[in-house]
A and B are shown apart, each in its own frame.
Chain A
Amino acid sequence: MRIKTLWLLLAMLVASLALIAAGCGGDDDGGDAAGTGATTEEQDDGGGEAADQTLTINWGTEPPSLDPGLASDTTSANILLNIMDPLVKLDEDLNPVPSLAESFETSEDGLTVTLMLREDGTWSNGDPVTAEDFEWSWKRTISPELAADYAYQFYGIEGAQEYNGCEEKNCDALADKVGVNAVDDRTLEVTLTSPQPWFTQQLAHHSFLAVHRPTVEQFGDKWTEAANIVTNGPFLLDSWEHNANINLVKNEDWRDAENVTLTRIDGRMITDGTTAVQAFEAGEIDVTSGLPVEEIPRLKETEDYQQYPGLGTYYYGFNVDNITDVNQRRAMSLAIDRQSIIDNVAQADQLPTTGFTPQGMPGFDVLNPDSPWQPPTADIEQAKELMAQVDSPKTDINLLLNDSPGHREIAVAIQAAWKELGLNVSIKQQEWAQFLEFIGPPPDKSIDAFRLGWIGDYVDAMNFLELWTSDSGNNSTNFKNKEYDGVIEEARQTPDNDARYELYAQAEEILGGEDGEMPIMPIYWYTYTQLERPTVQDTYNLNLLDQVDLTQVVVQES
């Protein structure tokens, strides 16, 4: 009797195994056809457009939100900017050019920006895109109820900061005072707190996209799901399986659909860099970004490797309350070998810094200080001379890093360089969230130096240089300099580009020039690395903000 139960159990086990196998087998055919077949089979001869304009890419991670008001990361931004229609786009030289807004004008005093929307903008449900959509969307993002991380993107607009910080009683009144006004269906008038020449560029940021009010009101938090979402851009959100894939299809009804070639983008979410590279090599995906450092030397040799300059700076900050002598900070910066760190550790042909604001920023030639304290290769002799002038040097250095891959290797190289100056460096690594708590601002007293990076949100040096003002929430150095604050404040009020670049140059001088204070020690300017099939290499390009414009991409026959 009992032995029968046992065998019965075993039989059931085997049967269930067989059932599972059979069940899985069913969806095999469909999955394979959609997955790998698309690009590898088209490789006949000759150039020209491939018949199948399907592209399979790796988004990298699950986008935390596809709500333009709530998104605050690159993945979300990249998807949003291809499924929504921004008012302006940035051209190759990062100048704003009309997109959904056919024209935009800034008033004489620089305080009012008037945007004229195109007539033919439509939502994917057929509704026209109006100026009211933008007014409602922006005020929604600013509202304290939405509690958007990026509400501060709007702080340059009159009344926005007040509304964002309102208490329940006065919120409605303050909402009405926000300087965004739909004059009529197609005219949007924006009033700024001060002249902000970068405002029209900032409009290309995903925070300034419009959302479809009836959809948001109907579905609440769930309006971004593929079944609910209403968009207005060149591509439609076809499906979204969380943490697995987001697939887009061409929006045939989009206003400029005839100039869009791709018909479909299948996007996977492979977080692990090594797996993503293997998926690329197995022919499962056509594009993947963010290559693991250890793979870069090998991949560089392949025809698929591509790299793009990025608008970002990798730097070390000094706690100037602990390392008080400017000569010590200069010496520490002189002692490190930026080029060697790039060649041997970072490995993606990053650029050694000569200032804080990265190359590629408009006005770079004027504002870059060509810092004497940031040579591409170490100048140990001068560094030692400077160290000798320091009365009471801080010789035990606590260096704080977060524990993401790659940072420790760079820190070890720097530790060795600083040892030559007689400094004992102890490297402490912390997990990201704790790390952020420790660096403040103000930084924990025990910290002498820390690592960080800054990636631009919009294309003006203000976005970088305002970090080092006294009350900046991103200034963890305790560096407070009235002159510096004054220069930045003046730059905020200066609409003329050339005059403003001169002010930025002064700010860069104070940071890293001949008499620079060196509260920070920039190391390199970022690059973005990718693997791309030769069939899309010509047209798949990342801009300085790590964004791809999928309307430009064409799959060529190989």
Chain B
Amino acid sequence: MTTFIVRRIFWTIPVILLVIFMTFVLMRQIKGNPFRTSDRAIPAAIQQNLERKFGLDKPWYVQYYRYVKGVATFDFGPSLVLRNRDVNDIVREHFPRSLELGGLAFLFAIVFGVLLGALSALKANSIFDYSAMFFSNVGFAIPSFLLATLFIYFFALQWDLGFPTSGWTTWQSKVLPVVALGIGPMAAFARLVRGTMLETMQQDYIRTAKAKGLRWRRVVGLHVLRNSLIPVVTAAGPTLGFLITGSFVIEQIFAIPGIGRYYVTAVTARDYSVVMGLTVLLAVIVIVANLLVDVLYGILDPRTRDART
């Protein structure tokens, strides 16, 4: 297991190098001048001063080398647009917010998704099942930005429930964004769990367990649920990565000072150093999330453990 983890961590290095290379090439391919933030023209002398200050007057391979070196030393350099801030400051201050938002939404999705899916499967084709699945389908179909707007309109504005419209301060302010972000994945988990559980319950070994006279509660807990969770874990890795890195819209609508807002504005503004720093960060998150999934596989399914050590 340890060898497996070490090997996986080692493998992230070429992946990150590739990410840097592709980001570098793509950012240079789309036109745009990071220093022209408004429609005002920048006199040639000022443009030159700016390029010199940020090293953009150097040949591309020197710039590329600097980026790689920056990543290796965890120093991503200054933002080209937010002139008093470094990429490291931005990550330090804003990444924890996105992590918290994405993490809470993930917990919300897993806990309620598994619960809802399991109950639906156990009471398949009941009223509960139908309404839960209807709810899941709707939750899955409505995009998060619409949910967010509706949530603010009803829960913060129309009905005085004590939720503020925006911000990321009190626990009340975190409820609406977490639910708005988590409801889609929750619905996906619920449908996944219901489907696999129904399938598992048809299996021979479940019948055997029942025939052995095991209590139903134990059958469900030990055999059904556990075997149904493997596809959930498979889906959970990318979902966690997505929730942490893809919360831009929710951050924007709820005015949450997370990293997603910086990422999107940095691309728009051609803020090369911020884009590079955040891309590497997000790549690492996705890699770590997938690594966690693989480790969890081992715990849930011993067969996969042996294959890798």
Contacts and interface: CB of A to CB of B under 8 A. Distances in A.
Contacts of B35: 149
Contacts of B85: 221, 242
A51 interface: no
B43, B78, B104: most-surrounded residue (chain A CB, <10 A): B43
Contact of A433 (B31, B111, B222): B31
A64 B50 CA distance: 16
Nearest to B107: A17
A278 B168 CA distance: 16
Interface stretch (A65-73, A78-86, A367-375): A65-73
A244 B84 CA distance: 16
Contacts of B156: 278, 282
Contact of A436 (B39, B172, B173, B226): B39
Given A13-B107, A65-B82, A149-B35, A243 B257 contact: yes
B93 interface: yes
Contacts of B226: 3, 6
Contact of A275 (B152, B170, B173): B152
B102 to A, nearest CB: 13
Contact of A437 (B31, B90, B252, B261): B31
Contact of A244 (B52, B152, B252, B257): B257
A437 B33 contact: yes
Nearest to A22: B171
A109 interface: no
Interface stretch (A31-39, A387-395, A419-427): A31-39
Given A28-B170, A73-B38, A278-B153, A473 B43 contact: yes
B208 interface: no
Contacts, number: 170
A279 B165 contact: yes
A300 B49 CA distance: 46
Contact of A452 (B39, B104, B222): B39
B189 interface: no
A221 B78 contact: yes
B194 interface: no
B41 A67 contact: no
Contact of A32 (B38, B170, B221): B170
A64 B222 contact: no
B45 A164 contact: yes
A243 B167 contact: no
Given A17-B107, A164-B45, A474-B41, A434 B170 contact: no
B111 A13 contact: yes
Contact of A147 (B32, B53, B82, B257): B53
A241 interface: yes
Interface string B15-42: 0000000000000001111011111111
Contact of B40 (A155, A164, A474): A474
Nearest to B93: A242
Given A24-B174, A441-B41, 5 more contacts: A147-B52, A149-B42, A224-B84, A274-B253, A472-B41
Q: Which 6 A-B pairs have the closest CB atoms?
A: A473-B41, A433-B32, A24-B171, A165-B45, A243-B257, A147-B49
27 contacts: A14-B111, A17-B107, A21-B171, A24-B170, A27-B170, A64-B82, A65-B82, A73-B38, A149-B42, A149-B50, A221-B78, A221-B86, A224-B84, A242-B93, A244-B167, A272-B252, A278-B152, A282-B157, A433-B36, A433-B270, A434-B30, A434-B32, A436-B33, A436-B39, A438-B31, A472-B41, A473-B42
